Amino acid sequence: MDTDPKRIVVIGAGFAGLWSALGAARKLDELRVPSDHIEVVVINGTPYHSIRVRNYEQPLDDTLVPLADVLDPAGVRHIPGTVRSIEPHNRRVGYDTDEAPAQWLEYDRLILAAGSALVRPAIPGLHEFTFDVDTFQGAARLHAHLLELCDQPPSPGRFTVVVVGAGLTGIELAAELPARLRSVAGEHQSDTIRVILADRSPRIGQAMGGAQPVIEEALVAQGIELLPGVSLDRVTCDSVQFAGGKLIDAGTVVWCGGMRASPLTAQFPVTLDPFGRVPVDAFLRVDNVPGVFAAGDCARLLIDGERPSVMSCQHGRPMGRFAGHNAVCDLLGLDMLPLGIDWYTTILDLGPWGAVYTEGWERRLASQGAAAKATKRTINCERIYPPRNGSRADLFAAAAPVVQAPPYTVRDAD
């Protein structure tokens, strides 16, 4: 056997990257391969695993998991750094750290799991004046701004928040905002609060199948104004304008206009999909790029053999577990495992009203209100977290290349 030290490099420690690294470490442990023979190294922009799906909530204190807590027990090295370039022909990645720019790390197998970021089109004022909940930092900035509203001089839109983009993120955020604004504005100013959810599509929640009427009902019941069929034209520090001239005084505008894969995907000689994702096969190997795997929002996998994976935590976590496992198997000449998931669910938080749970790609309504909310809390606060007790055995058990059952809920028909 070749005994030269080998290295598996993972870019990113989000849902896909963290589970890629743990999946690889688990398989090496199972095979009794010492870490001085094959090491697993993660390069991530921060020293944290961010539970990004919770960024519409407050408080966010519990959403940053220190990488040391979950990677050290598994024997995975982690570098806080930003990958700038990938050279697949030389099998190396270039990255910067705060201490030292322009470093290189060679790999034997690479897993690209650098995720996605909010798309920001060139709409006047969008960069300067909008907030977002795409990252922990973005969500913290929005929260700090809301807390300062009371200190601002009275103005027509002081307690008006316009959320632009009514995808899942925009809906979840809008549903939280009335209660958050009430706690900021206080009782005496609560009648000046407005939360408006705007979107291009003809109906809010258009793509949500059987959940669409539930979403409208829940938002309206919480006093949220729905503004479908509008296109954003311009944002200023105190207003938002839509095509056709509709102008709203608003002290806060939050942009929730969709995600695009990390620009690192463009470093490979492959055709990217419309979201900027690299195509991968059922083993998570990037098409025609030897030694490279991809997982999560960076990768487009036919998840059930027919439909493309969705940029989601739901798909990112299993993609990571299988990518890590397969990177080790590929390196050692062992059989790899194909990933296929034959179920799909959507569980959307609707604030204090509850939540809504759908099944299948056509989104059949399964449960709503308090029952769906209980499921959502279990997902956001337990299911998607890595074990945080420092146990190597627990981390490896959670990283096994298996497909979990759909989240449990008490069905409307039960």
Ligand X SMILES: Cc1cc2nc3c(=O)[nH]c(=O)nc-3n(C[C@H](O)[C@H](O)[C@H](O)COP(=O)(O)OP(=O)(O)OC[C@H]3O[C@@H](n4cnc5c(N)ncnc54)[C@H](O)[C@@H]3O)c2cc1C
Contact positions vs ligand X (CB under 6 A): 11-17, 43-46, 50, 52-53, 55-56, 82-83, 113-116, 133-134, 168-169, 262, 264, 296-297, 311-314, 316
Strand, coil or helix: 86: strand
**Nearest Cα to Cα of residue 236 among 127, 118, 120, 121:** 127
Can you tell me the distance from the alpha carbon of 319 to that of 53, in angstroms, rounded to the nearest whole number?
A: 17
Nearer to ligand X, 16 or 270 (CB): 16
Q: Is 288 left (phi over 0), alpha (psi -120 to 50) or beta?
A: left
Cβ proximity to ligand X, 157 vs 296, nearer residue: 296
Nearer to ligand X among residue 181 and residue 254 (C-beta): 254
CB of 41 to ligand X, least distance (A): 12
DSSP summary character for residue 265: G
Smallest separation, CB 29 to ligand X (Å): 22
| Number of C-beta neighbours around residue 305 at 10 A | 11
| Dihedral (Cα; 17, 18, 20, 22), 10-degree rounding | 160
Between 136 and 396, name the residue whose CB sits nearer to ligand X. 136
Minimum CB distance to ligand X smaller for 56 or for 242: 56
DSSP secondary structure letter of residue 379:
I
Closest CB 372 distance from ligand X, rounded Å: 12
Q: Which is nearer to ligand X, 37 or 143 (CB)?
A: 143
Please give the structure tokens belonging to residue 365.
């309504």
- Tell me which residue of 397, 342, 392, 296 sits closest to 15, measured CA to CA: 296
Distance of closest approach, residue 12 Cβ to ligand X, in angstroms: 3
Residue 50 CB, nearest distance to ligand X (Å)?
6
CB of 71: closest distance to ligand X in angstroms?
13
By Cβ distance, which residue is nearest to ligand X?
14
C-beta of 190: minimal distance to ligand X in Å?
Answer: 25
Measured from the CB of residue 113, what is the shortest distance to ligand X in angstroms? 5
Residues in the chain: 414
Q: CA-to-CA distance for 255 and 163, rounded, in angstroms?
A: 6
Separation of first and last alpha carbons in the chain: 57
Strand-pair partners of 40: 8
- What DSSP letter does each residue of 306-366 carry, written as one string? SSBPPSSHHHHHHHHHHHHHHHHHHHHTPPP--------EEEEE-GGG-EEEEETTTTEEE
- How far is the C-alpha of 336 from the C-alpha of 313, rounded, in Å? 23
What whole-number distance in Å separates Cα of residue 215 and Cα of residue 224? 11
Which of 105/289 has CB closer to ligand X?
Answer: 105
Residue 153: CB minimum distance to ligand X, A: 31
Q: Which is nearer to ligand X, 11 or 146 (CB)?
A: 11
| Alpha helices (H) along 72-223 | 126-129, 136-148, 168-185, 212-221
Nearer to ligand X, 52 or 91 (CB): 52
